[in-house]
């Protein structure tokens, strides 16, 4: 029975890893459809090479920083438990590699190729695993401190804050440092419009991400005995909540409609294992509104040239998701409980910081 369970767990998390790996095609096509035609090939190459650099760095350094164990041992050790530790690495790598993929969309059309790869190596090797280890592996006693202070640990089931907010807020810094694309905001105060170059590609990217996200969230259970249908249906409800809110707020704009479900899914990651489906619907709807409102504000009023709107989408909706888990996860709001609003606020602030 043990051997059967180990094999089933290895297969379970491997399928999750494959589904999240497919999401990187979604990141690529979302960026491909949004940037100008002359930059489409660059976007495709960048996402694939970023993933490759992330794999090597996370295998050699990042996984060890986050979880304190490495793979520089004999293959006879690695093959134990059906190689579960290896496929767990693969699954968690696909999360880590999402950070540079997120940042890529913000700094599209003006970042130099090699410096960006160097940044990818530093972020996936050290920056992301440092926070990942704090939240998901009890590093430095931070979770114990939050629990002592607020009555519950910071809860982030599938990475609203650990993955999305961290990626989105790093992207904001990168966008501000690089400045806008040439001639985007003209001296006479006018703006050069750069509409999406290919709506079908953008929509394809969105759909690939939506489908892969069910691996991202459901397989975050990491073992078969912990799988929960609640996570799947909450992901679904948040996705449609985000879509409908973005449809209304974005006045039928196809770019907003296809980013709305992603906003909802970003926000539901943290509390997808705790909320009632109606709570997840509300969380997704708020995220859809937040994305449309803040994307418009950053581009037009604040003149922040965040090409794909990754700071509103991942940074802000991710932070909202971390906080929302402390609202809709409460038993009084129909959730399962075991979280505190103050703890979620504190953990989210740490991730943003």
Alpha helices in the chain (DSSP H): 2-34, 40-57, 63-67, 75-78, 84-96, 98-106, 113-122, 128-136, 142-150, 166-178, 199-218, 229-249, 254-268, 277-296, 310, 317-328, 341-352
Higher pLDDT, 287 or 301: 287
| Residue 228 DSSP one-character state | -
Take residue 210 and report the two structure tokens written for it: 């939506």
Higher pLDDT, 79 or 148: 148
- Per-residue pLDDT averaged across 102-126, rounded? 95
Instruction: Provide the residue ranges of all domains of the chain, joining segments of one domain with +.
Output: 1-180+199-352
Taking only the tens place, the pLDDT of each residue in 75-86 is 988 888 889 999
The HSE-up count of residue 183 (CA atoms within 13 Å, CB side) is 3
pLDDT reported for residue 2:
85
Q: Are 120 and 174 in contact (CB under 8 A)?
A: no
Say which residues have a Cβ less than 8 Å from residue 64's Cβ, sequence separation at least 6. 70
- Per-residue pLDDT averaged across 194-213, rounded? 95
Taking only the tens place, the pLDDT of each residue in 289-335 is 999 999 999 998 999 999 999 999 999 999 999 999 999 999 999 99
Q: Are 91 and 222 in contact (CB under 8 A)?
A: yes
The dotted CATH code for 1-180+199-352 is: 1.10.3430.10
Distance CA 115, CA 1 (A): 50
Chain centre distance of CA 282: 19
Distance CA 187, CA 158 (A): 44
Taking only the tens place, the pLDDT of each residue in 322-341 is 999 999 999 999 999 999 99
pLDDT reported for residue 233:
98
**What percent of the chain lies above the pLDDT cut of 70?**
100
Nearest to 302, CA basis, from 184, 213, 136: 184
Q: Is the pLDDT of residue 116 over 90?
A: yes
Q: Is the pLDDT of residue 192 over 90?
A: no
């Amino acid at each position: 029975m043990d051997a059967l369970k180990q094999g089933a767990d290895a297969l379970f998390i491997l399928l999750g890893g494959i589904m999240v790996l497919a999401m990187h095609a979604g990141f690529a096509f979302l960026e491909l459809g949004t940037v100008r035609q002359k930059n489409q090939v660059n976007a495709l190459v960048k996402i694939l090479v970023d993933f490759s650099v992330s794999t090597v760095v996370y295998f050699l350094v990042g996984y060890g920083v986050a979880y304190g164990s490495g793979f520089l041992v004999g293959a006879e050790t690695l093959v134990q438990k059906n190689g579960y530790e290896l496929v767990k690495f693969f699954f968690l790598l696909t999360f880590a590699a999402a950070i540079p993929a997120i940042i890529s969309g913000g700094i599209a059309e003006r970042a130099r190729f090699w410096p960006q790869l160097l940044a990818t190596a530093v972020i996936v090797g050290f920056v992301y695993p440092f926070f990942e280890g704090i939240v998901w592996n009890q590093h430095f006693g931070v979770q114990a401190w939050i629990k002592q202070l607020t009555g519950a640990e910071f809860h982030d089931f599938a990475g609203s804050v650990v993955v999305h907010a961290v990626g989105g807020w790093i992207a904001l810094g990168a966008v501000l440092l690089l400045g806008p694309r040439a001639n985007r905001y003209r001296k006479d105060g006018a703006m050069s419009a750069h509409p999406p170059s290919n709506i079908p590609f953008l929509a394809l990217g969105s759909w690939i991400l939506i489908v892969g996200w069910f691996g991202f969230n459901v397989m975050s259970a990491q073992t078969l005995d912990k799988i929960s249908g609640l996570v799947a249906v909450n992901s679904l409800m948040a996705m449609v909540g985000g879509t409908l809110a973005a449809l209304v707020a974005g006045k039928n704009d196809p770019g907003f409609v296809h980013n709305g479900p992603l906003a909802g899914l970003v926000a539901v990651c943290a509390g997808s294992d705790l909320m009632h489906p109606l709570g997840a619907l509300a969380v997704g709807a708020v995220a859809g509104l937040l994305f449309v409102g803040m994307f418009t504000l950053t581009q037009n009023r604040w003149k922040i040239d965040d090409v794909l709107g990754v700071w509103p989408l991942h940074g802000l909706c991710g932070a909202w998701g971390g906080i929302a888990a402390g609202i809709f996860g409460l038993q009084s709001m129909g959730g399962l409980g075991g979280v505190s609003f103050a703890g979620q606020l504190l953990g989210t602030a740490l991730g943003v910081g």
